[in-house]
Structure 1
Amino acid sequence: MIKNMRLTLGLVFAGFLSGSLQAQDLKLWYNQPAEQWTDALPLGNGRIGAMVFGGVNREHIQFNEETLWTDSPRDYNMPDGAKYLNDIRQLLFAGKQKEAEALAAKHFMGLKSKEEERAPWVEKVRDLASLKSNPSAAKYNDSKWKTIQLPAINGWETVGLEGLDGAVWLRNSFVLPDDWAGKDLVFDLGKIRDHDFTYVNGHLAGTTANASDGRMYVVSADKLKKGVNHISIQVLNYFDKGGLVGYKDTSRPMRVYPKGASEQQAVILSRSWKYMIQDDDPPLVGTYQASYQPFGDLLLTFPDASKGVSDYKRELDLTTAISKTTYVSKGVRYTREYFVSQPDQCLVVRITSDKKQSINFQAGLRSSHKQSAVRVIDPTTLGLSLQVKDGALKGESILKVNAIGGKTRVKNGQIHVSGANEVVLYLTAATNYKNFKDVSGDAAALAKADMEKLAQQSYGSLLNKHLNEYQQYFNRLSLSFGSSSESTLPTDQRIEQFAKNNDPAFAALYLQYGRYLLISSSRPGTRPANLQGIWNDLLTPSWGSKYTTNINLEMNYWPAESLNLSEMHEPLFDMIEELSQTGAETARKYYNAPGFVVHHNTDIWRGTAPINNSNHGIWVSGGAWLSTHLWERYNYTQDKEFLRNRAYPLMRKVALFFNSYLVKDPATGLLVSGPTNSPEQGGLVMGAAMDHQIIRDLYSACIKASEILNTDGELRKIMKSNRDRLTPNKIGRFGQLQEWTVDIDDTTNKHRHVSHLWGVHPGADITWDKDPEMMKAARQSLIYRGDEGTGWSLAWKINFWSRFKDGDHAWKMVHMLISPAAKGGGSYVNLFDAHPPFQIDGNFGGAAGIAEMLLQSHSGYLDILPSLPSALKDGEIKGLCARGGFELEMKWKDGKLSDLSVLSKAGNTCTVKYAGKELKFATERGKRYPIDSALQLIK
């Protein structure tokens, strides 16, 4: 009787919570089409990603396929790096950091991809005599040149020259002010990627070969003339961003002014420039790792919709993963619906109207890849084929147009639809990638097979399968922080108002958007979400849009377990298994060590060697940090089979590496990591707090796992010994948590990385329960570091302040994260996180941080509302997960807990703490336990 009553009360409580939560309007919406890529709305099924612009007369849907990358399977490892390991260590122990970095740069970095000699090409494009006329000449006729807006901080690729590398001429002019006559002028052009030859009136003003140097050339008065003066720049861009990129501080323009005069008296050169492509085939540049690539664009042109448009709206419904664009044109209401189906592996676009025979448009495909072509398959079908430049991967996409009523025909490589009642478009995409070692797939056959599966299905069937598959994940968690007047505003206006007004409901939407993005970019069976999830429109994306393992990749998965999306973690675990193979070679060749190691980046080919530069690219804890995600999965699910068969074998390999890698510090006798660094500052060192915290957590997890599984008794002793001998956390002379083994922290340092606080979050090396003084020192470090930061850094700080149990400070960081994108972070119009540029990790870290305010379980108990901000005084949540195998529903009013219910998934003993009270009780698997506000079980 009591047992049945308990179950009934639990069900009633669950229904009570869910009833009001279902009324939430979880939509991003706007009153105008997207102008920029970061205005567009993202869709995805884990493999295919799409960005919907919602244009009226021209719809643009940019799409990706997760396995389209540059490069090919290859060996990333220096074959004899281990020969230099001891020398590097000895130099670092002796305080000779620069010498150690120089030695490491020469012998310890990874191998680059194929590289070609530059000199012959440079000589060819610099032979101006071979041109019909000299573009540097003042009287050169550039009337037929095209124009481009410069500077472009993210490269000319973002302003119309996508995919362009090579030799390009840029020209502009200015009128010399009368009072500048006889004066030398300063031409302040900012940075130019990569090598420039800058001329004024045909005279060489300067040349610089380093892309990271600012250009500030002085031109003598005798080279200038009254009236119009001409500037010509030959830019040699070998790879990545090209052209005049100006300054990181975009408020500082390119300009020219008299030498010695105030810069405010300048003529501004940030404007439209003319350009001419001289040569677009530069020599290959070797890269340490590959870059994620865009696939193509689906373009729809609606000739009837150019005038008289009203009642426009575009939206993304998080509850259905469907985007919609609606508008009225000439009295007819048009509706477009878009989704990417996981069950049917396709992008679907449905176009309808409220008047028959009124749908008229043209559909076409294109790609920014130089080696790409569109072909007509039949009167309703187009194909797009592409080859990644100098890489192993090919892509194939098929577009099928199914019109009900009207006429469909092909003209000029496009599908023309006229007089239709309804139209459904299907797009499939595939590559020849099979795995990180095998590119023998048949992209065309895969894309065709996916399309053929759609032939016998109705739109309704596709839609229902999509909804059922997506909502099985999304509907697990419901959340409400109440309503506000701002809830009626379009999302772009709401972002602008969020920091100024109290709009807690927007934070709830942001959390659910993070869950939406994780489901959309990381389904079981796919590759993990990269720096941009699965969304990227550039051939040369920032940081390659790859996987940075010194926080960014891991942050992507912080919400997976706590926000009830455990399956979305699977792609990361698949990656770790692949990295254990490539990382084993790196461990052997660089450290003569067993197990495996991952340095601070990887890509689709699972490179694990050091990259970029020895002052930040030799960081050894990527594999260890990733392995903590395996342990977290077990903590949340209590799945012993997963622990036995998947998690512990991988964790164990990383522990074996560190057993071999750690060395004794001659100054202290304690074990230290090294060579390593504290990401991404301070240079190459022996010993960093972050490393030691991660390794300590790794050892503790492996020790506990081996005890649970009753295995590896001797190895357990070694791990315990190493853990106890690791250099401990230290409090420095400023009361701060030291970032390194020596007390050299700079309290004025405002770097975005706060790596030495890893033990506070996401780790559990430093907690209020274990060591309050160390927690205070960590908090002091964060105070010194400051609140400002790029997007993902702001997200991390939300989690830090939540762990410090300062909810109002954490809420301040939420305000900074959800603010208009600026030079130091925030959110774009579509709520994408701004590093800037876009990085998706801040979305995931921010979502996890908001949850961390409501529940913490890293100290072995359920800590209820530990960091509730005063702004979130009322709220309720259903489906929030905790370590130990628990799922919670709770409600609070006026900042105080009113209702709590705990579902036990594993049958473990549950300990709950709230407001100085503690409740401990035994549980049975599958049962729900209602608890009142006094922290008493409801019988």
Structure 2
Amino acid sequence: MKIRKSLFIVIFMFGVVRVFAQSQPLKLWYKQPAQKWTDALPVGNGRIGGMVYGGVVEDHIQYNEQTLWTGGPRDYNRKGAVKYLEPIRKLLSEGKQAEAEAMAQQHFMGMKSNELNYAADSAKWFNAMKDIRPPLKSKEWTPITLPTEQGWETAPGLEGLDGAVWFTTTVNVPPDWQGKNLVLNLGRIRDIDFTYVNGKRIGSTNGTAYRKYTIPAADVHLGSNQLSVLVVNFYDKGGFTSNTKTLSVYPEGRESDVISLAGAWHYHVQDDNPPAYPRYNADYQPFADLYLQFPKQEITDYKRDLDLTNATVHVTYKADGVNYAREYFSSAPDQVMAVHLTADKPGKITLEALLSSLHKNYVIRKIDDHTLAISLKVKDGVLRGVSYLHVQSIGGKVVVSPKSISVTGANEATFYLTAATNFKNYHDVSGNPEAICKKQIAAITTKSYATIKAAHIRDYQKYFNTFSIDLGKGENADLPTDERILKFGKSPDPSFISLYMQFGRYLLISSSRPGGGPANLQGLWNNLLTPPWGSKFTTNINLEMNYWPAELLNLSTCSEPFFSIVDDLAKTGHETAVEHYGAPGWVLHHNTDLWRGTAPVNASNHGIWVSGAAWLCHQLWEHYLYSGDKGFLQKRAYPEMKGAAEFFVHFLVKNPKTGCLISTPSNSPEHGGLVAGPTMDHQIIRDLFKNCIEAAKVLNIDRAFADTLKLKYSQIAPNKIGKYGQLQEWLEDKDDTTDTHRHISHMWGVYPGTDITFKTPELLKAAEQSMKYRGDEGTGWSIAWKVNIWARMHQGDHAYLMLSKLLSPADVSSGKEKGGVYHNLFDAHPPFQIDGNFGGAAGLAEMLLQSQGDAIELLPALPTALPQGNIKGICARGGFVLDFEWQNGQLKNVEVFSKLGKTCRLSYAGKTVDIETQKGKSYRFNADLKQL
């Protein structure tokens, strides 16, 4: 009989050691190397993140450093914007939304970078570009396949390019087209084209409109015709971005007689230095790439895995009778990424290591006989980066050239990679990245690989080992992860759900550590110079969702970077409150970045949303509820909560129709345009006022201010039920029952708020009706939010349905991505956006335990698909940590550990018990909640 070895996790808590078995190995694993970035496996130490491809002939580790962004310190606020606040409000009150949005766009949005100088600079540059003719020499042209639907930046060598680029191809006109005008269909081009046939310009268009030009018959030759297009792109995607069917030419009136122009073209970069395009926000940037090139070999038994229990990635395979192994991790104690290569026979490690970067301005140089460096500068920004690659080997020969490191015939080799920038904080960029890298590499040269690895695992496990979940095995548990994803919706695989939840915890530990910055839209990982949505901190749900699992899943310490960004935003947000609203306190709109801009950005129909600060403060209060840390509340949370509340005391105005206080101007993210009084705002503001009142009571301060908040609280426009029985999203009863928008903002009061609960049954029923109208589809993070909402409604099977959709394959056979997960379990918006991973992990926890009300509810939304399981280390408000087990859908037992010594109220299946606890003690109960 074969006995499976169990993995044991040890938890150290208040001096108590608890050991329990994890029945399934927590690994993502594959039988092949990564083919694309969303196949690669992530490692991270909170500051340095890597994506490991695990190739055999060439391995690729794309890496990031958390502080490498575009832009620089600047004032994001528009001076004098406050003059337009009342006129915008007046237009909205008169029902003139379009006029209000137009005024707000012109006068109320924040300032863009380079906004004042751009018009003159770009006109001068553009005028020089449009008079240039295509090059004649063939050696100046490079092959390319068109169209590039996601922009020319997806073509090798054109990553991140902005500017003017020529494209050319030949069109062979058949004899029966002679004398005919031709129709040239170029599809969508970004941003401006100047199109020539046989050297004569036939058209030019600005914008993303579809291009369709007529070529006069007199300008067409029988046989070969030269088509040349100069594309001028100022920022972001450039080039031919329609599909292959669109790119074509045909005789006028004979559309069916078409010649496709999709396929082989040539390009020539005319100028890739346009003036810096005005931007509301900065973009998070990739840092560089490490390539490990090996001799070609025939291999067998390939395996690639990520072990969540110790935060290490592995690649193993056999070649020529030798077993090769690689191990990768990103160490927080030593601030390096490590790649360790071994073979089971001596002298078999031979490779060349190279560094490269997508950034145009980079230099590679030799530091010493074991160290290579790359230095780079971000385009249109103030930040510089330096990275050192250091090698240590046992046996063999090491040669460091000015461009690479070669290792020949070693028994084993270890590469250590570090990276740093000149960023110190959002208003100081005087750091010395060279000195930082030099110091970090010097510190590890006296240590063995075993010592560095042991320190990494010890540090990581102090976070990870605070929690365990086991939902049973399932029939697909032994399959590779990519195969499990494909089969998940067709057969039960409960251990896959456990793996996904723990993967979410792994990502949070890896991307958000004390002393660093918070997880952004992609956590720590980004491979694009123009990432989706800038990979920023989007604060109308996404940044907050990143931290939903932190308290509940015993990772409270990982919230420290979140608290740090709130500290910064409270300062910059005060300036915005003054300049845009003439208000005290602080305000935050829907996006921010490394430089902590808080002004409204993008477009007035969704960028003027005032509740970001209040939502961030909700999570400050949640940390207090879980931790009981009165020092945190007094010194950090309450002052920022009070500041956010002071803003709304000033900002709220009386609705002349109802007499209620409303939030105006604002937006129901990112839906319905600029409005007065969106429901979500009022739910969040009530939550903020309620929490401030309670915090002032706990701290025994600010009684007069608390009384002001109580009065204002009672006057805020209430939640309303509309004509379809739905919870209204706006003041007016104008919800559309066919609307399936991804944002479900008016559900904030259900989750994460507590404005709508089982104590308000009519409102809860209306919220459920709204959820049914919105439907069960959505982007990744939207589906994750729905998991949590249905769990809060105690509808476990519906919550599980949403979780199943969240775990469906994003890479579908049709080639069109959808919400779900990629092969590496990254969440798909699509494209990748990490908040769905975090929201999904939190949603599963909400099914199993809730404590937002008067009691700790056990298994409040247990789905029938998860009839058995056990969980250890899940946290509840009031400072409690719980372990419990269930079988056949019923609670079996529960143990409660009290961190604070408060009264514990437990609730299960209609039974409720109260127990007085002592700090540091545990209490056990049976299924009937009788103490054992």
TM-score, scaled to structure 2: 0.94
Against the structure 1 CA distance between its residues 301 and 629, is the aligned structure 2 distance closer, same or farther, given a 3 Å change threshold? same
Among 284, 297, 301, which residue is 2:289 paired with? Answer: 297
Name 1:760's counterpart in structure 2: 750
Question: Aligned pair 1:373/2:341, yes or no?
Answer: no
The answer on whether the counterparts of 2:418 and 2:437 sit within 8 Å (CA) in structure 1 is: yes
- SS state at 1:486 partner: coil
Name 1:929's counterpart in structure 2: 923
Corresponding residue pairs, total? 910
The answer on whether the counterparts of 2:46 and 2:510 sit within 8 Å (CA) in structure 1 is: yes
Structure 2 distance, partners of 1:91, 1:601, is: 25
Among 781, 797, 803, which residue is 1:814 paired with? Answer: 803
TM-superposed CA distance for 1:423, in Å, is 0.4
TM-superposed CA distance for 1:191, in Å, is 3.1
Question: Aligned pair 1:779/2:768, yes or no?
Answer: yes
The answer on whether the counterparts of 1:379 and 1:415 sit within 8 Å (CA) in structure 2 is: no
Question: Aligned pair 1:50/2:50, yes or no?
Answer: yes
Q: Residue by residue, what CA displacement relative to the aligned partner does 1:414-453 show, whole Å, maximum 9, x if unpaired?
A: 1111010010111111111111111111111111111111
After TM superposition, the structure 1 stretch with the greater mean CA deviation from structure 2, 218-227 or 664-673, is 218-227
Structure 1 distance, partners of 2:264, 2:703, is: 70
Q: Residue by residue, what CA displacement relative to the aligned partner does 1:789-836 show, whole Å, maximum 9, x if unpaired?
A: 111111111111111222222111112111221533111111111111
TM-superposed CA distance for 1:872, in Å, is 0.9
Against the structure 1 CA distance between its residues 268 and 811, is the aligned structure 2 distance closer, same or farther, given a 3 Å change threshold? farther
Question: Aligned pair 1:920/2:914, yes or no?
Answer: yes
The answer on whether the counterparts of 1:17 and 1:889 sit within 8 Å (CA) in structure 2 is: no
Structure 1 distance, partners of 2:248, 2:808, is: 30
Question: Aligned pair 1:851/2:845, yes or no?
Answer: yes
Against the structure 1 CA distance between its residues 331 and 835, is the aligned structure 2 distance closer, same or farther, given a 3 Å change threshold? same
Whichever residue aligns with residue 899 of structure 2, its letter is K
Q: Residue by residue, what CA displacement relative to the aligned partner does 1:62-95 show, whole Å, maximum 9, x if unpaired?
A: 1111111111111111111111111111111111
Q: Residue by residue, what CA displacement relative to the aligned partner does 1:264-306 show, whole Å, maximum 9, x if unpaired?
A: x86555545422111111122111111111111111111x2x2
Name 1:550's counterpart in structure 2: 540
Structure 2 distance, partners of 1:438, 1:15, is: 43
TM-superposed CA distance for 1:639, in Å, is 1.5
Structure 2 distance, partners of 1:795, 1:25, is: 25
Against the structure 1 CA distance between its residues 676 and 895, is the aligned structure 2 distance closer, same or farther, given a 3 Å change threshold? same
Against the structure 1 CA distance between its residues 563 and 390, is the aligned structure 2 distance closer, same or farther, given a 3 Å change threshold? same
Question: Aligned pair 1:41/2:41, yes or no?
Answer: yes
- SS state at 1:118 partner: helix
Name 2:654's counterpart in structure 1: 664
After TM superposition, the structure 1 stretch with the greater mean CA deviation from structure 2, 354-363 or 821-830, is 821-830
Structure 2 distance, partners of 1:774, 1:754, is: 15
Name 1:333's counterpart in structure 2: 323
Whichever residue aligns with residue 902 of structure 1, its letter is V
The answer on whether the counterparts of 1:624 and 1:698 sit within 8 Å (CA) in structure 2 is: yes
TM-superposed CA distance for 1:886, in Å, is 1.2
Whichever residue aligns with residue 877 of structure 2, its letter is R
Name 2:151's counterpart in structure 1: 155
Q: Structure 1 unaligned runs (5+)?
A: 1-9, 134-140
Against the structure 1 CA distance between its residues 328 and 176, is the aligned structure 2 distance closer, same or farther, given a 3 Å change threshold? farther
TM-superposed CA distance for 1:844, in Å, is 0.5
The answer on whether the counterparts of 1:802 and 1:853 sit within 8 Å (CA) in structure 2 is: yes
Structure 2 distance, partners of 1:766, 1:260, is: 61
- SS state at 1:487 partner: coil
Among 788, 791, 797, which residue is 1:799 paired with? Answer: 788
Structure 2 distance, partners of 1:500, 1:16, is: 40
Name 1:512's counterpart in structure 2: 502
The answer on whether the counterparts of 1:788 and 1:824 sit within 8 Å (CA) in structure 2 is: no
Whichever residue aligns with residue 169 of structure 1, its letter is W
TM-superposed CA distance for 1:578, in Å, is 0.6
Among 118, 123, 126, which residue is 2:130 paired with? Answer: 126
Q: Residue by residue, what CA displacement relative to the aligned partner does 1:12-68 show, whole Å, maximum 9, x if unpaired?
A: xx9999644x23211111111111111111110001111111111111111111111
Name 1:68's counterpart in structure 2: 68
TM-superposed CA distance for 1:218, in Å, is 5.5
Instruction: Give the 5 Å matches for 1:481-496.
Output: 481-496=471-486
The answer on whether the counterparts of 1:163 and 1:540 sit within 8 Å (CA) in structure 2 is: yes
After TM superposition, the structure 1 stretch with the greater mean CA deviation from structure 2, 644-653 or 197-206, is 197-206
Structure 1 distance, partners of 2:848, 2:180, is: 65
Structure 1 distance, partners of 2:218, 2:303, is: 59
Structure 2 distance, partners of 1:179, 1:898, is: 83
Name 1:4's counterpart in structure 2: none
Name 2:522's counterpart in structure 1: 532
Whichever residue aligns with residue 864 of structure 2, its letter is S
The answer on whether the counterparts of 2:249 and 2:258 sit within 8 Å (CA) in structure 1 is: yes
TM-superposed CA distance for 1:186, in Å, is 5.8
- SS state at 1:871 partner: coil
Against the structure 1 CA distance between its residues 74 and 771, is the aligned structure 2 distance closer, same or farther, given a 3 Å change threshold? same
Structure 2 distance, partners of 1:740, 1:41, is: 43
Q: Residue by residue, what CA displacement relative to the aligned partner does 1:577-626 show, whole Å, maximum 9, x if unpaired?
A: 11111001000111111110011111111000111111111111111100
Name 1:30's counterpart in structure 2: 30
Structure 1 distance, partners of 2:673, 2:583, is: 23
- SS state at 2:604 partner: coil
Name 2:113's counterpart in structure 1: 113
Among 861, 865, 871, which residue is 2:855 paired with? Answer: 861
Against the structure 1 CA distance between its residues 59 and 719, is the aligned structure 2 distance closer, same or farther, given a 3 Å change threshold? same
Name 2:7's counterpart in structure 1: none
Q: Residue by residue, what CA displacement relative to the aligned partner does 1:838-893 show, whole Å, maximum 9, x if unpaired?
A: 11111111111111111111122111111111111111111111112111111111
TM-superposed CA distance for 1:521, in Å, is 0.2
Q: Structure 2 unaligned runs (5+)?
A: 1-10, 811-815
Whichever residue aligns with residue 884 of structure 1, its letter is G
Among 594, 603, 607, which residue is 1:617 paired with? Answer: 607
Structure 2 distance, partners of 1:62, 1:217, is: 42
Q: Residue by residue, what CA displacement relative to the aligned partner does 1:219-276 show, whole Å, maximum 9, x if unpaired?
A: 56776666666543321111122222326xxx9765556777888x865555454221
Whichever residue aligns with residue 908 of structure 1, its letter is K
Against the structure 1 CA distance between its residues 929 and 191, is the aligned structure 2 distance closer, same or farther, given a 3 Å change threshold? farther
The answer on whether the counterparts of 1:375 and 1:383 sit within 8 Å (CA) in structure 2 is: yes
Whichever residue aligns with residue 454 of structure 1, its letter is I
Among 720, 723, 727, which residue is 2:713 paired with? Answer: 723
The answer on whether the counterparts of 2:327 and 2:341 sit within 8 Å (CA) in structure 1 is: yes
The answer on whether the counterparts of 1:18 and 1:478 sit within 8 Å (CA) in structure 2 is: no
Against the structure 1 CA distance between its residues 267 and 886, is the aligned structure 2 distance closer, same or farther, given a 3 Å change threshold? farther
Name 1:885's counterpart in structure 2: 879
Question: Aligned pair 1:904/2:901, yes or no?
Answer: no
Name 2:590's counterpart in structure 1: 600
Whichever residue aligns with residue 311 of structure 1, its letter is D
Structure 2 distance, partners of 1:711, 1:464, is: 47
- SS state at 2:913 partner: strand
Against the structure 1 CA distance between its residues 933 and 221, is the aligned structure 2 distance closer, same or farther, given a 3 Å change threshold? farther
Against the structure 1 CA distance between its residues 151 and 519, is the aligned structure 2 distance closer, same or farther, given a 3 Å change threshold? farther
The answer on whether the counterparts of 1:889 and 1:901 sit within 8 Å (CA) in structure 2 is: yes
After TM superposition, the structure 1 stretch with the greater mean CA deviation from structure 2, 213-222 or 269-278, is 213-222
Name 2:6's counterpart in structure 1: none
Against the structure 1 CA distance between its residues 270 and 497, is the aligned structure 2 distance closer, same or farther, given a 3 Å change threshold? farther
The answer on whether the counterparts of 2:366 and 2:401 sit within 8 Å (CA) in structure 1 is: no
Against the structure 1 CA distance between its residues 316 and 267, is the aligned structure 2 distance closer, same or farther, given a 3 Å change threshold? farther
Whichever residue aligns with residue 897 of structure 1, its letter is L
Name 1:635's counterpart in structure 2: 625
Question: Aligned pair 1:343/2:347, yes or no?
Answer: no
Name 1:137's counterpart in structure 2: none
The alignment-based identity, stated in percent, is 55
Instruction: Give the 5 Å matches for 1:446-465.
Output: 446-465=436-455
The higher relative CO (CA closer than 8 Å, separation ≥ 6) is in: 1
Structure 2 distance, partners of 1:331, 1:257, is: 60
TM-superposed CA distance for 1:468, in Å, is 0.5
Structure 2 distance, partners of 1:808, 1:45, is: 36
Whichever residue aligns with residue 820 of structure 1, its letter is P
Structure 2 distance, partners of 1:171, 1:503, is: 52
Question: What is the CA RMSD across the aligned residues, in angstroms?
Answer: 2.3
- SS state at 2:389 partner: strand
Against the structure 1 CA distance between its residues 479 and 185, is the aligned structure 2 distance closer, same or farther, given a 3 Å change threshold? farther
Structure 1 distance, partners of 2:212, 2:33, is: 40
The answer on whether the counterparts of 1:760 and 1:766 sit within 8 Å (CA) in structure 2 is: yes
Q: Residue by residue, what CA displacement relative to the aligned partner does 1:770-793 show, whole Å, maximum 9, x if unpaired?
A: 211111111111111111111111
